[in-house]
Amino acid sequence: MSLAEVREFIELLAKENPNAQSELIYTTPYTLLVAVVLSAQATDASVNKATEKLFEIASTPQAMVALGEDGVAQYINSIGLWRAKSRNVVALSAQLIELYKGEVPGKREALEALPGVGRKTANVVLNIAFNQSTMAVDTHIFRLGNRTGLAIGKDVLAVEKALVRRIPKDLLRDSHHWLILHGRYICKARKPECWRCPAPKICHYPDKILTP
């Protein structure tokens, strides 16, 4: 996909979904961070269901530490890896209190040093909470990038770097939302709904499904 096609592709996704945003429910950078940590190998819907009650009890690092691992586990045991996530959420909350006075840092290195926070989680938080032009590549964006020719890479880091390099700077910050929603609901893994895609002529996927 040429750079001109990349711009057109992203602009068409933007036109189709101009108000795209995260489907995770949060109110602060801290609750966003916790929700993203919990979302690993879990759907946004399942995370929202768990955090609806969790955040009523603990929406700050101090309250989360007071709740403790067992307390957190009671609210999130419906999602995958809940034991490890309970441990990480309490541990990262304690570190936020100790190192950052309970605030979420706006730097990648600081975020990735927190328990349970990897590059993708850091990218999401930096993008949404701090308005930085980062690109969090999940399975949907990885698949979409390689399938369409938008950004080809053997691993998520390669695709991330290709997207950051190829997407115009004026579109980059919001592209994460446009791409993830497109991959989640239209450019699906098993049966992409190409007939719903706003940019089928630009997409390089050879096996398009153009009828329902």
Catalytic residue among 138, 154, 161, 170: 138
Note if 170 is an active site residue.
no
Amino acid identity for residue 103 in this structure:
E
Is the separation of the CB atoms in 119 and 164 below 8 Å?
no
Please confirm, yes or no, whether 207 is among the known catalytic residues: no
Confirm or deny that 188 is annotated as ligand binding: no
Which is the catalytic residue, given 107, 120, 154, 161?
120
CA-to-CA distance for 126 and 206, rounded, in angstroms? Answer: 35
DSSP, collapsed to helix, strand or coil, labels residue 147 as helix
Residue 187, marked binder: yes
- Residue 203 assigned ligand-binding role: yes
- Rounded Cα distance, 179 and 142, in Å: 10
Amino acid at 203: C
Residue 71 annotated in ligand binding: no
**Integer angstrom CA distances of residue 60 from 76, 111, 128:** 16, 16, 18
Calculate the CA 18 to chain-centre distance: 18
Tokens encoding 167? 């997407």
Count other Cβ atoms within 10 Å, centred on residue 95: 17
Phi-psi region of 41 (alpha: psi -120 to 50; beta: other; left: phi over 0): left
Annotated binding site for [4Fe-4S] cluster: 187, 194, 197, 203
Catalytic residues: 120, 138
Annotated binding site: 187, 194, 197, 203
